[in-house]
Chains A and B, each alone.
Chain A
């Protein structure tokens, strides 16, 4: 094997990856030099997570190769990656909450003494050193679950440091850090880099990228747009690289004017990140809700649907305040939520299509509790025609349908309750182009009937193409309200990422 001293510590060549026919990464080539901070940016769904997972060995690329420290690693396992010196800190913290700080730092790699026992002394002293390096004052014996999320993240960083990694990937490390904590993080990164470690830094906060990174790579729609030293770019250039695209997809035109306000939220806050959110939705309108991952969009949807409790604030429907203690209340008030993850939250995967479609309106198709199968069949048939769902029969189990058709079933289910307000969380995720367009048409149709739609989406094109108004969320609050005709992808990203 040719161990030529390559200029790069990491090279990823022509990486491609698809999930079930939908392409996540296409021919991405990416090089990282030793001792640098290399930022990776891109909007939601651009492929950053997939790329990182491939790098860490959690996923295998369909094609392409990875060369790390001169060696070819096309089929990593996570263990191998770790041993080679690649360490990833994911956004979803990989900590065992019931174990202590010290234990978590060394999880899986506990130092042993001569007898194969845990060398407590070494464990603690090394852990202590690491924490001091990071400037964190935490008791080593606290259970990690008792710490705030910010501290938990710091423990993760300490963990990565303890692995003597040559390459550390940080996936949104600053998402919950603020002020001085962030400064600390940067100091650590800089000292790491001086020591020859390379850092791949993924973040939505572009000002951080400008502060800490040496080089930046931009991913868009699964492809690498470019890699450039940060000095050569300014903010607007960077944003344009992230989102600039031509409107290839055609969206059905809106023929309807919004009417009166139907749903209004005033200063709602929840335990789940929402902070003093106020908004209103009008009849016949589509309001797009944009924001980065973690900004609180799904939490807002859940709060409006009664799936999460409000800590403060109020929601009014048609002028009257309503109290939603559970989804059942919301449904009665004619509010529906089409959830983000249809497999986990929207469908009963082993049950037949007709069960799924009729689940919210069982009352309508039954008399004294007994189901009227004929009526159900009619409803299913109507839904099939209306949404062009490709299925063999109403008895077919939903797991056998394609993603697009499954989503249609979910929509059909919710439309059965004749809602006046529909909240859609990523309505076209994992759906093919043809079905997407059908869903858009459906949304326009609903608008025409006076139904209000709040649409959460990570596809800015979709938000721009379908919404009348756009709300941008960041860290639990709404930071901007834009008219879709007057704004652009760049502007939305600006709002979503500015500090």
Chain B
């Protein structure tokens, strides 16, 4: 028989594990910064930082969506395709005219959300595993690009979009957008009932259902949001690049997942958060930049990121074994 009503289970290991799951990523970030300072001090130069922060913002916006999707035990691999789609749509719709920018962005958002809706429906109503569902959507989206543009990107990107390149020191518009979105979504996830329901859906869908939470609806909404965020990132990217390029979005899917995982969000849902992801984004981006600065070939980043994901998942897995 249990000894008393007040049994809080004594768990010697729990402080250490709590530490890792709660704060490990920040520790890793600090260590990484120190290492960076030693090996590649030029990381901290103004120009490098500026570029890096812009890339962080780009990745970070997508990572917000990816984090939320992972919180409901899902995955979104279609983000790359959505970004390219945004590019194409913006260029086509605005056709170089500055006044058309808002409409172009709006159109892109609508398309993006449709993709998210598709993802969500496949996953909830047809029970397709998220990996496969979003990959298939990616295929579809890419196919649609080709069908539409026939290989030749059309339209022109309006000049005014270059505004995203505005910067003061290393603070740039993308960075501000990223920070702004982060604040918004951190508040949503932690401070609204919607956010609570997201965590609940990921943590225990059956219990969530019995508590009256519309599980399917929550999941679909999260995928729609993720795609929407991808569109925003795409808009920024298009503004920066200035033209439509099929290949601008390579790597964002992996990187956003890596960032979320490193930041403590688990693949099985219910655990994690945006604050960790921010640190994750920084870590991933710093690593990528370091790779370039050290002079390693860019391709080694794949190896590094793959190992990082494995390491992060294993560590978090071990630390959480307490269940």
Contacts and interface: CB of A to CB of B under 8 A. Distances in A.
B1 interface: yes
B206 interface: yes
Contacts of B196: 355, 358-359, 362, 371
Interface string B168-209: 000000000000000000010001111011011001101111
Given A23-B1, A390-B6, A432-B1, A327 B204 contact: no
B210 A327 contact: yes
Interface string A325-350: 01110111000010100001111111
A363 B213 CA distance: 12
A464 to B, nearest CB: 21
Contacts of B211: 327, 331, 359-360, 413
A77 to B, nearest CB: 23
Interface residues of B, number: 35
A461 interface: no
Contact of B203 (A339, A351, A434): A351
Interface string B1-37: 1111111110100100000000000000000000000
Nearest to A338: B210
Contacts of A405: 5-8
A236 interface: no
Interface string A124-165: 000000000000000000000000000000000000000000
Nearest to A413: B211
A391 B209 contact: no
A362 B5 contact: no
B305 interface: no
Given A21-B2, A344-B206, A360 B212 contact: yes
Q: How large is the interface on A (under 10, 10 to 19, 20 to 34, 35 or more residues)?
A: 35 or more
Contacts of A347: 204, 207
Contacts of B208: 348, 359
Nearest to A360: B211
A402 B1 CA distance: 12
Interface string A370-385: 1101000000000000
A403 interface: yes
Contact of B210 (A20, A23, A345): A345
Contact of A400 (B2, B8, B187): B8
Given A327-B211, A351-B270, A360-B212, A21 B1 contact: yes
Given A349-B203, A351-B203, A434 B210 contact: no
B192 A390 contact: no
A344 to B, nearest CB: 6
Contacts of B194: 369
A404 B207 contact: no
Contact of B7 (A305, A331, A350, A402): A402
A327 B209 CA distance: 7
B9 A400 contact: yes
A350 B193 contact: no
B5 A390 contact: yes
Contacts of B14: 400
B199 A392 contact: no
Contacts of A362: 193, 196-197
A434 B200 contact: no
A472 to B, nearest CB: 26
B209 A326 contact: yes
B212 A404 contact: no
A206 interface: no
B5 A401 contact: no
B210 A339 contact: yes
A403 B2 contact: yes
B41 interface: no
A93 interface: no
Given A327-B209, A328-B214, A346-B210, A388 B203 contact: no
B2 A432 contact: yes
B2 to A, nearest CB: 4
A348 B200 contact: yes
A427 to B, nearest CB: 15
Interface string B212-223: 111000000000
A438 interface: yes
Most buried by B among A23, A390, A391, A392: A390
A350 B191 contact: no
Contact of A346 (B3, B191, B207): B207
A463 B3 CA distance: 24
A366 interface: yes
A260 B149 CA distance: 71
A426 to B, nearest CB: 15
Contacts of B209: 307, 326-327
Contact of A404 (B5, B214, B270): B5
A399 B1 contact: no
A330 B14 CA distance: 38
Contact of A345 (B6, B187, B207, B214): B207
A350 B201 CA distance: 12
Q: Which of B2, B196, B209, B211 has the most CB of A within 10 A?
A: B211
Contacts of A363: 193
B7 A404 contact: yes
B9 to A, nearest CB: 6
Contact of A328 (B2, B6, B8, B212): B212
B154 to A, nearest CB: 41
A359 B200 contact: yes
A233 interface: no
A22 interface: yes
Given A345-B207, A347-B207, A355 B1 contact: no
B126 interface: no
Q: Which of A307, A355, A370, A391 has the most CB of B within 10 A?
A: A370
B323 interface: yes
B313 to A, nearest CB: 16
B26 to A, nearest CB: 19
What 7 A-B pairs have minimum CB-CB distances, sorted nearest first? A402-B7, A362-B193, A432-B2, A390-B6, A328-B212, A434-B5, A348-B203
Given A327-B211, A351-B270, A432-B4, 15 more contacts: A339-B210, A345-B206, A345-B207, A348-B199, A362-B197, A369-B193, A369-B194, A371-B196, A390-B5, A390-B7, A391-B8, A400-B8, A401-B7, A402-B9, A432-B3
24 contacts: A23-B1, A337-B210, A345-B204, A345-B210, A347-B207, A348-B204, A350-B270, A351-B203, A362-B196, A365-B193, A369-B194, A370-B187, A373-B191, A388-B5, A390-B5, A390-B7, A400-B9, A402-B8, A403-B2, A405-B8, A432-B1, A432-B3, A432-B7, A438-B5
Interface of A: 20-23, 305, 307, 326-328, 330-332, 337, 339, 344-351, 355, 358-360, 362-363, 365-366, 369-371, 373, 388, 390-392, 399-405, 413, 432-435, 438
